[in-house]
Amino acid sequence: MEPVHKDTHNIIPYRTLLTVLAVLITLTFISVFITQIYLGTLTVAIALLIAAVKSTFVLRIFMHLKFENRFLSSMVIAVILIIAAVIFITLLDYIYR
Amino acid sequence: MNKTVDIHRDDEASKTGMWLFLFTEMLLFGGLFVVYSVYRFRNATAFHLAAHELSVVVGTINTILLLISSATIAMSITAIQKKNKKLALLLLFVTLLLGLLFLINKYFEWGDHIREHIYPGSTILALRGQGDVLFYGLYFFMTGLHALHIIIGMVFIGFIAVLIYRDKIDSGNFVLLENSGLYWHLVDLIWIFLFPLFYLIT
Query: Using one digit for the tens of pLDDT, what is the confidence trace for B5-46?
Result: 557 889 989 999 999 999 999 999 999 999 999 999 899 889
Query: Using one digit for the tens of pLDDT, what is the confidence trace for A25-58?
Result: 999 999 999 888 877 778 888 999 999 999 999 9
Using CA atoms, how far apart are residues B30 and B22, in angstroms rounded to an integer?
12
Q: Which residue, B77, B61, B46, B94, is CA-closest to B181?
A: B77
Tell me the whole-structure pTM to 2 decimals: 0.92
Nearest residue of A to residue B57 by CA position? A32
All residue ranges of chain B with pLDDT < 70 are 1-6, 202
Using CA atoms, how far apart are residues B42 and A75, in angstroms rounded to an integer?
32
ipTM score: 0.90
What is the greatest pairwise CA distance in chain B? Answer: 67
Using CA atoms, how far apart are residues A48 and B93, in angstroms rounded to an integer?
32
A53 touches chain B (CB under 8 A): no
CB burial of B77-98 (b: ≥16 within 10 Å; e: otherwise) equals bbbbbeeebebbbbbbebbbeb
Cβ contacts (< 8 Å) between B193 and chain A: which residues? 48, 51, 55
CB contact under 8 A, B81 and A20: no
A92 touches chain B (CB under 8 A): no
Residues 6+ apart with CB under 8 A from A42: none
Using CA atoms, how far apart are residues A15 and A30, in angstroms rounded to an integer?
22
What residues of chain B, 12 to 41, have a C-beta less than 8 Å from chain A?
A: 12, 15-16, 19, 23, 26-27, 30-31, 33-34, 37-38, 41
